[in-house]
A and B are shown apart, each in its own frame.
Chain A
Amino acid sequence: MNVNVKKSAAELSLEAQVDAMLATAIGGQAQALDNLKRLGIPHRRLEPWVYTDLRNLMGDTYRPAEQLEAAPKLADLVDPALADLDTCRIVHVNGYLNEDLSNLDTLPTGVTFARHSDAPKASDTEPHYIANVVTAFANDILTLTVAPGAKIAKPILLINYTIADTPVASYTRTIVNVGEGASITLFETYRGQGIYQSANLLDISLADKAAATHIRHQNDDLAALHLALIRLDLGAQSNWHSFTLTEGARVSRSEVDLRFEAEGARAYTNAAKLLRGEQHGDMTIVVDHAVPNCDSEEVIKSVLEDKARGIFQGKVIVRPGAHGTDGRQSSDALLLSDLAEMDTKPELEIYNDDVQCAHGATVGEIDLDMLFYLRSRGIPEKQAEALLLQAHVGGAMEIIADDTLKNVMLELSARWLGERRPT
């Protein structure tokens, strides 16, 4: 209650990094550095971080990664499951844009691309750790702009890869503005090798009637720490469809901060977590219904093996006056071992009576009746289990309209299930 917690090694080293930069920083970066110095690293006494005690889990903060001299080969960076996709690539290695590996020349008409070294919009003064740390340390800031009315069919693949011979930290910041009536598909992948920290900030704004499909595959090295924050502003009648598959990183925290700015918008934010070993995976989604007549839904599916720990925190806020709101959240977790753990906190915060809000959450093991049913039909136990797990995870992928992309995600989850050790 009244404890003065001693600063951890990670905090001391963060402070040293901040101090070194404070003298020269200006604008948004200076503000972010100042916030970091003031607030430190979040810990479990802060309610949003109650299950993910970053101060302890982080161990140390690493020096920012440097640009690699020898560029890696593209084939090594892309997950084999994605190799055949026809996409426009934007490749970051260690947080730096690599134009040689990217194929920016294939950017479809209607999409423009800009690269800055300073934040085009001032950092928020809100005390959000991930936003602050990325704003403070990111080198490259990318802006993608989709012209009004442009319907972009070809997915834009954002590849993030970190190579760490010694422990380093990489930071990326991307800003996506989708114009009125335009549509886009974004596909983010995160991979790497070695001990590193990867922190990523994605700001997306959808203008009126715009649509975005967003897929995210987080498969960072099992020694890595992955932090991500997606901030979304949704215009009138815009549509957001998102699916995140988390299978990598020792510790990961993905946050989505979604705000409805005008009426009639819909947002579907789904996720699946496949964790094993001693992985710690946190998915936190805040949906802010600030205006009337918007729909939101989150479907979260988790499969946890060994000593893995899964976390889902969801919060739906319905502000005064936001009538006609429909908000739904569900989280279902399957625990495959005695030492796996799932922590769930689905919150509703409602200041209006004309709403329909619901959440459901379940935790349990594989339904033995279902397993028995399949086995009684001649399907071997392992295969029956895999089928049930696949169906469980697949429930969150229905949101992906494009069959090719959906199949890629199904393939990735099947691969994880195939890697299960025989028990």
Chain B
Amino acid sequence: MGAVRETVDQVKSLDVEEYKYGFVTDIESEKAPKGLNEDIVKFISAKKKEPDWMLEWRLEAYRRWRTMTEPEWAKVSYNDIDFDDLYYFSSPKMKDGPQTIDDVDPELLRTYEKLGIPLREQEILAGVKTSKIAVDAVFDSVSVVTTFKEELAKSGVIFCPISEALQSHPELVRKYLGTVVPVSDNFYATLNSAVFSDGSFVYIPEGVRCPMELSTYFRINEPNTGQFERTLIIAEKGSYVSYLEGCTAPTRDENQLHAAVVELIAHEDAEIKYSTVQNWYPGDKDGKGGIYNFVTKRGDCRGDNSKISWTQVETGSAVTWKYPSCILRGDNSQGEFYSIAISNGHQQIDSGTKMIHLGKNTSSRIISKGISAGKSSNTYRGKVSAHRKASDARNFTQCDSLLIGDQCSAHTIPYMDAKNRSVTFEHEATTSKISDDQLFYCQQRGLNAEEAVALIVNGFCREVLQQLPMEFAVEAQKLVGISLEGSVG
């Protein structure tokens, strides 16, 4: 009951349209000129001191992107994006690549302090913060600091911004970049391939269980700036890593674009757990402003017995378009997708997953909980397919939608393609509102309406919240309450 009480308190302490992370950091920044052309791509590449092959790769992506059109199949509508009216690179002014935390602009550090992200290792070690998490902090287009690098390096784990990895481990980046999400994958992935700035690079060597949770915290600060993060995680044979991702942005009237690409590669017996708490600015109560979150996330279970697990809590963004997927290539590999997608106000979410069964004896599990309130629209779109040779593939899918109020909408669009006799696919979905009986039962036991709804919603999401690492689970549970604030009446 403690958590419920906390949720309700959180809700009460907020005004109707308050977004906790909506402040702007006043910091001087360095930007590439507005618009997109080959020179901008070259500018970004030069800024990052990239090898020639990388520039060529980007340019090829850029040329291809020019020939592509925006996809229109998602159940979202938004104003056209003027791709020539965006800044594609923005970096807070600082010395050439911060080496220690003391080189980082104190204004930036204060920002992360406000966001509750620990960047000072000594504080963490001194027990100021209880848990130990390595953080890569990305501010607009660059990574400002990465913590615990040395300690991680002792176990052979590489955890650094991808731009740094291009300098220190170009052979690894070259070997894996674009092998899960090809350059030509889709409109936004191609755009990202051309102009991606920072994101994390993680390499876990054979047999290593990463000694701490890794996380990246993305922050968009500058107006009119797109953020194009690129994350690449490679887990060698028998290794394990748990990675967390969080995102916020200031409150602004304009819409901002976030188009990320995340690639995961799990070799034999390896396991990757990827958790996201996405809390970009969702726009105000009239639907003005907010982030367009168009993201391509895909994991490749390349080796036998490998496992990739996606967990996401989606509460922010004006428009979300995101399908973290698993390619189950290795025999006996496993894919999981746990999702809570909450939309309120005028938010639009079109999210789901793909489980592509290619290897023998592969299994996947999808648990998706959609909650729509206000005037929002929430779509689950998922695909489960089994290849001819994927004998004994198994999938279980459950997608439940909860509607709060009579002006929101919830859609479920599942695709199931079975090309093999020995597959077992099960799919179930329900859509309903919080039943009067449930509410009555709770209220009869002394909870007020708000507490009752919070309790029921937390129960509805429980299966997914359980999958989050502890530190995130508490935060996510609060977020669930806050996101629904104003919807109960």
The answer to the question of B410 belonging to the interface, with a C-beta cut-off of 8 Å to chain A, is yes
The closest CB in chain B to the CB of A333 belongs to: B418
**Least Cβ–Cβ distance between A282 and chain B, in angstroms:** 13
**Chain B CB within 8 A of A338 CB:** yes
Tell yes or no: B69 within 8 A of A by CB. yes
Chain B residues within 8 Å of A379, by CB: none
Which residue in chain B gives the minimum CB-CB distance to A337? B421
In angstroms, Cα B408 to Cα A390, docked, is 43
B400-435: which have CB < 8 Å to A?
401, 403-433
Cross-chain contact of A363 among B68, B408, B416, B432 (Cβ < 8 A): B416
B408 touches A359 (CB 8 A): no
Main secondary structure of the interface of B (DSSP, over half): strand
A119 to chain B, nearest CB (A): 33
A364–B414 Cα distance when bound, in Å, is 17
In the complex, which residues of chain A have a beta carbon less than 8 angstroms from the beta carbon of B68? 1-2
B388 at interface by CB-CB < 8 Å: yes
Q: In the complex the two chains form, is A343's CB within 8 Å of B418's CB? A: yes
- A338 contacts which of B388, B412, B416 (Cβ < 8 Å)? B388
CB–CB B409/A351 < 8 A: yes
A335 touches B412 (CB 8 A): no
Query: How far apart are the CA atoms of A321 and B408 in the complex, in Å?
Result: 11
Given contact pairs A350-B401, A352-B406, A353-B403, A365 touches B421 in the complex (Cβ within 8 A): yes
Complex CA gap A348/B388 in Å reads: 28
Evaluate whether A359 and B416 lie within 8 angstroms (CB atoms) in the complex, with A2-B68, A336-B421, A353-B405 already known: no
Total count of chain A residues near the partner, CB < 8 A: 38
Distance of A88 Cα from B401 Cα, bound (Å): 47
Question: Is B444 interfacial (CB 8 A cutoff)?
Answer: no
Contacts of A362 in B (CB 8 A): 424-427
Inter-chain contacts of B427 with A (CB < 8 A)? 344, 346, 359-362
For residue B53, CB closer than 8 A to chain A, the reply is: no
Do the beta carbons of A350 and B403 come within 8 Å of each other?
A: yes
Q: List, in ascending order, chain B residues with CB within 8 A of A337's CB.
A: 421
The CA-CA distance from A333 to B417 in the complex, in Å, is 11
Q: Which residue on chain A has the smallest CB distance to residue B378?
A: A350
Residue B73 CB within 8 A of the other chain: yes
Quick check: B433 and A342 within 8 Å, CB to CB?
no
A419 to chain B, nearest CB (A): 20
When distances are taken between beta carbons in the complex, the residues of chain A under 8 Å from B418 are 333, 335, 341-344, 363
Q: Does A68 contact B (CB under 8 A)?
A: no
Chain A CB within 8 A of B130 CB: no
CB of A420 closer than 8 Å to a CB of B? no
Which of B388, B408, B418 has the most CB atoms of chain A within a 10 A radius of its CB? Answer: B418
Residue of A nearest to B397 (CB): A361
Is A266 located at the chain interface by the 8 A CB criterion?
Answer: no
Identify which of B404, B408, B416, B421 gathers the most chain A CB atoms within 10 Å of its CB: B421
Report the minimal beta-carbon distance from A243 to chain B, rounded to whole angstroms. 23
Is B13 in the interface zone, CB < 8 Å from A? no
Chosen A-B contacts, 12 in total, with CB atoms closer than 8 Å, are A1-B69, A47-B73, A335-B418, A342-B416, A350-B401, A350-B409, A353-B404, A353-B408, A355-B432, A361-B414, A363-B423, A364-B425
Residues of A within 8 A of B (CB): 1-2, 47, 320-321, 323, 333, 335-365
With contacts A338-B422, A360-B427 known, what are 6 further pairs, Cβ within 8 A? Answer: A320-B406, A338-B421, A349-B409, A350-B410, A360-B429, A363-B416
